[in-house]
């Protein structure tokens, strides 16, 4: 029965382009799916351009039935994770498929086969190469538009995972709240107190070139902040340079906030992005000729923002430093007339992050999870 589905490994640029473009046909009628920029996706899968490949191997597979492309998957082994952290798993991601169990089964079986070949203990997905990649299959919130930093999927995906014997590994939540909920009365007084007590000061930016000299410090702090989370893989030196080039220049400098101590050492940072979801839908996967204008317009005019990253040095966690960060964002959001704030997927086990936001009355509007399957 399963001989009807055939797998082809995508190795050439033409084949990888088919891999990247498959969801465009799968989700062509969905008002909630947000397409990536095709060339950006291709670059992230390019072994010469994406530094993740210095410490990882990846295999890209396409599933066909009767010569029709019906599914895709990436199998990833992050050797830093396997050899240094002793987490012996094979990752999988960019897993999309039509509602046909034969298709999803053949794709997942290929990941399992590769994991066993490399004597790994289990498989987990959907995840990317690192913690800055997309994560998790959507299990609630299908009626909400996606973001440029999350995967969207149809409701039937979950039943395919569970039908193949995969079990929940990690649960993630996505929250939102009106910007008006960020009442300055909650943090203005604490902001002044915390800055005086610990000798802190905020750094705001107006130009990207002002951010770049401090970007390495930011990634180091990111590594320190999240090192204890079960899913964490540190960002390497080479990846820092790549992410600086790829992301920092794309983010409004006024949406990046740094907090330093009396010695000008970075102890906290936050990055917020305007919502590019509708602009990406209009761009249809291409920057040119018109996609770039939609994105630039969103960068300038979007009234929705996404809290992308927040990092606080372990020595300063639970000391009110978030009040300093929120105070700065309140000023920026008021000036920009921001209406809604969204947060990226956060691990259910990350209690500290939920405590940080509790005063803003956030609402969980999406849930997603990763699944695992033992290989031994």
Classify burial at 231, counting beta carbons within 10 Å of its beta carbon; exposed 0-12, middle 13-18, buried 19 or more: middle
| Nearest alpha carbon to residue 127 among 163, 95, 82, 102 | 95
d(CA 254, CA 267): 18
36 pLDDT tier (thresholds 50, 70, 90): very high
Task: Work out the mean pLDDT of the chain and round it to a whole number.
Answer: 94
Please state the pTM of the whole predicted model.
0.93
2 pLDDT tier (thresholds 50, 70, 90): very low
Tokens of 318: 């639970």
d(CA 52, CA 166): 26
d(CA 118, CA 120): 6
| Nearest alpha carbon to residue 329 among 192, 198, 182 | 182
pLDDT tens string 37-94: 999 999 999 999 999 999 999 999 999 999 999 999 999 999 999 999 999 999 999 9
Tokens of 63: 């599933």
Under a CB-based contact definition with an 8 Å cutoff, are residues 134 and 345 in contact?
A: no
pLDDT tens string 230-254: 667 788 888 888 888 878 878 999 9
pLDDT tens string 124-174: 999 999 877 999 999 999 999 999 999 999 999 999 999 999 999 999 999
| Nearest alpha carbon to residue 284 among 97, 24, 19 | 24
Query: Strands 304-312 and 340-343, how do they pair?
Result: parallel
What's the first-to-final CA gap in the chain, in angstroms? 26
Query: What are the extents of the domains in the chain?
Result: 2-174, 177-364
Under a CB-based contact definition with an 8 Å cutoff, are residues 8 and 15 in contact?
A: yes
Tokens of 156: 């039937």
pLDDT tens string 301-342: 999 999 998 999 999 988 999 999 999 999 999 999 999 999
- Whether 2-174 shares its CATH topology with 177-364 is answered yes
d(CA 284, CA 282): 5
1 pLDDT tier (thresholds 50, 70, 90): very low
Q: What is the pLDDT of residue 229?
A: 72
Under a CB-based contact definition with an 8 Å cutoff, are residues 309 and 222 in contact?
A: yes
Higher pLDDT, residue 99 or 235: 99
Q: What is the pLDDT of residue 230?
A: 66
Mean pLDDT score, 221-228? 87
User: Which alpha helices (H) appear in 247-290, and where do they start and end?
Assistant: 277-283
d(CA 74, CA 59): 6
Helix/strand/coil percentages in the chain, nearest 5:
40, 25, 30
227 pLDDT tier (thresholds 50, 70, 90): confident
| Nearest alpha carbon to residue 255 among 324, 360, 356, 333 | 333
The DSSP H or E segment spanning 111 is: helix 101-117
Indicate the fold that domain 177-364 takes in CATH: Aminopeptidase (3.40.630)
Tokens of 326: 């929120």
Q: Which residues contact 185 (CB under 8 A, 6 or more apart)?
A: none
Residue 122: what are its φ and ψ, rounded to 5°?
A: -155, 170
Long-range contacts of 237-242 (CB under 8 A, 24+ apart): 238/51, 238/54, 239/51, 239/52, 239/130, 240/215, 240/216, 241/51, 242/50, 242/51
Query: Residue 195 region, left (φ>0) first, then alpha (ψ -120 to 50), else beta?
Result: alpha
Residue 364 CB: number of other CB atoms within 10 A? 14
Residue 368 has pLDDT above 80, yes or no: yes
Handedness of CA 123, 129, 130, 131 (dihedral sign): negative
Under a CB-based contact definition with an 8 Å cutoff, are residues 198 and 261 in contact?
A: yes
Residue range 2-174 in CATH 3.40.630.30: yes
């Amino acid at each position: 029965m399963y001989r009807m589905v055939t797998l082809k490994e995508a190795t050439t640029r033409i084949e990888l382009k088919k891999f990247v473009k498959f969801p465009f046909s799968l989700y062509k009628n969905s008002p909630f799916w947000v397409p990536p920029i095709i060339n950006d996706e291709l670059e992230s899968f390019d072994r010469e351009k994406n530094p993740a490949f210095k410490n990882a191997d990846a295999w890209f597979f396409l599933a066909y039935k009767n010569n029709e492309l019906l599914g895709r998957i990436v199998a990833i082994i992050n050797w830093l994770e396997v050899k240094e952290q002793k987490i012996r798993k094979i990752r999988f991601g960019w897993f999309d498929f039509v509602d046909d169990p034969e298709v999803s089964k053949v794709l997942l079986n290929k990941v399992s086969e590769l994991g066993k070949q490399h004597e790994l203990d289990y498989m987990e997905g959907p995840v990317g190469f690192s913690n800055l990649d997309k994560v998790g299959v959507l299990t609630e919130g299908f009626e909400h538009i996606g973001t440029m930093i999350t995967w969207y999927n149809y409701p039937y995906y979950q039943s395919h995972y569970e039908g193949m014997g995969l079990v929940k590994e990690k649960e993630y939540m996505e929250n939102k709240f009106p910007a008006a909920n960020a009442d300055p009365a909650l943090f203005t007084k604490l902001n002044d107190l915390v800055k005086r007590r610990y000798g802190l000061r905020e750094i705001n930016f107006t130009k990207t070139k002002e951010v770049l000299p401090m970007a390495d410090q930011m990634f180091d702090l990111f590594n320190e902040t999240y090192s204890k989370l079960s899913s964490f893989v540190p960002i390497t030196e080479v990846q820092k340079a790549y992410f600086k080039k790829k992301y920092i220049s794309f983010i409004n400098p006024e949406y990046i906030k740094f907090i330093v101590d009396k010695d000008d050492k970075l102890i906290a940072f936050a990055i917020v992005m305007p919502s590019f979801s509708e602009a990406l839908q209009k761009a249809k996967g291409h920057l040119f000729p018109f996609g770039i204008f939609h994105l630039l317009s969103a960068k300038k005019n979007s009234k929705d923002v996404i809290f992308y990253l927040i990092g606080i040095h372990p020595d300063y966690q639970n000391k009110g430093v978030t009040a300093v960060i929120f105070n700065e964002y309140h000023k920026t959001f008021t000036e920009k007339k921001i209406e809604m704030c969204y947060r990226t997927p956060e691990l259910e086990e990350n209690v500290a992050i939920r405590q940080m936001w509790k005063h803003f009355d956030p609402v969980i509007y999406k849930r997603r999870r990763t699944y695992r399957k033992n290989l031994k």
